[in-house]
Structure 1
Amino acid sequence: MKSVKRLLLLIFVVYLLPTFASAGLWAMREHPSGWSAARWSSAGILPKANESNDAAIYIFSAMTGGLKGSVASHAWIVTKAKGAATYTRYDKVGWGNPIRRNHRDPDAFWYSNPPQLVTSITGSKAELLIPKIEGAIAAYPHAEPGGYTIWPGPNSNTFVAYVLRTVPEIGAVLPPHAVGRDYLPDGEFVHLDEDSRDLHVTLRGLLGFSVGVRSGIEVHFLGLVAGLDLARPGIKVPALGRIGI
């Protein structure tokens, strides 16, 4: 009985307390009254695509709208081929054809929330990786209409996390509030990244863990992620994000 109580207390402290704190902070802020009132324009983070001849890759994440915006974010991928004068943005959404291409500015606000740059790659490395990213996007198994479930997945974060696992040379993982990122497509329970440097074990994204060079040590519970970032020392806090260097 004591063990059960300690486990419940641990779950409350590690997962629920930060979630309640994030929800409280969210409630104190101003929010757009609806989709049409939200800001969806460029946040001015990226340089003009034609300013550089270099290839580029960017992964973005921004808190989403409504009450779920207190605990969950939305991620997307941006690429620019060498010599291209425009960026190409890829998102997965919950309406129509799920995989959208250039339906927003590459660095746009998402439901009035500013995007966070998760990682960026430029130059020859980006030039080599863009075809791999495009191949992973084309192979994503939940790209058909109806292939979207807001929780526990597959959702927008499931899509981006799939690309990051398939092309591990990108060297990034989505932030802890990217709910749905730990859902493994095709009903997988165990996945070893292509370079064998990160292991993911999950029960439909609801309960499991990830461990490795990029993931550090993570335990996810009901889509909420807690853990340690070992590559860039810090802690991963459910709903709140990463805290550290």
Structure 2
Amino acid sequence: MMAWRLAGGVIREDYSTVHLNQLLEKAEAIAGRMLRLSVFYRNQNKEYFDHARDEQENRMLPSVKDDSGSHGSPISGKLEGLFFSCNTEFNTGKPPQDSPYGRHRFEVQADKLFNPDTNLYFGDFYCMYTAYHFVILVLAPKGSKGDDFCKQRLPLLDMANNPFLTCKRVEEGEGGLLFHHAQDVILEVIYTEPVDLASGTVAEISGYQQMSMSTVNAKKDPSCKTCNISVGR
């Protein structure tokens, strides 16, 4: 484990690769069947997108990941990125119309962020005293600063063959890309580079803002046998 001194002199030890692989195995066991997806999406309030347009040259910029998830996560407080969702509703195949993060949603075609020039890493597996379990994945363009960071700390996943999020080339026709996500876990996908708003669309959702589902700085349930490993939280 690597140890880090936090505010107030508290020492936090990061999970080693061995520990992360143990966590990965636990997550794989409950991921469930795979469903099709076509977009990644990111919900925020209107002011967030206005600021991106007016002050950030129409771009969403990466920020340091908060302390949500496992106590020993090596990406908390260090990895910079943008959180995206990709889960779809079983009955519609589309993103849900509810979100805890804001009523405005940026949607981008999946291949803009996830393609053969991207590496996919497993980042974390946790729950928040609920029946829902979350898996954090990291998408990092190959050779990027984020990719270099993850390469030293996180398990690399096979983009075409893993139980969480896959990208496969269609053999027939023009050979486009086909994407699937795990049904039984909520995926939080961190993209490590800036994203131009012009690469997708921003629109207001019709559903509710479910604040109770927010994972901002959420603490992991240390008693859950499904998502904890022997080193503790």
TM-score interval w.r.t. the shorter chain?
under 0.3
TM normalised by structure 2 equals: 0.26
Which structure has the highest helix share of the two? 1
Q: TM-score, normalised by structure 1?
A: 0.25
1 or 2, which has the higher strand percentage? Answer: 2
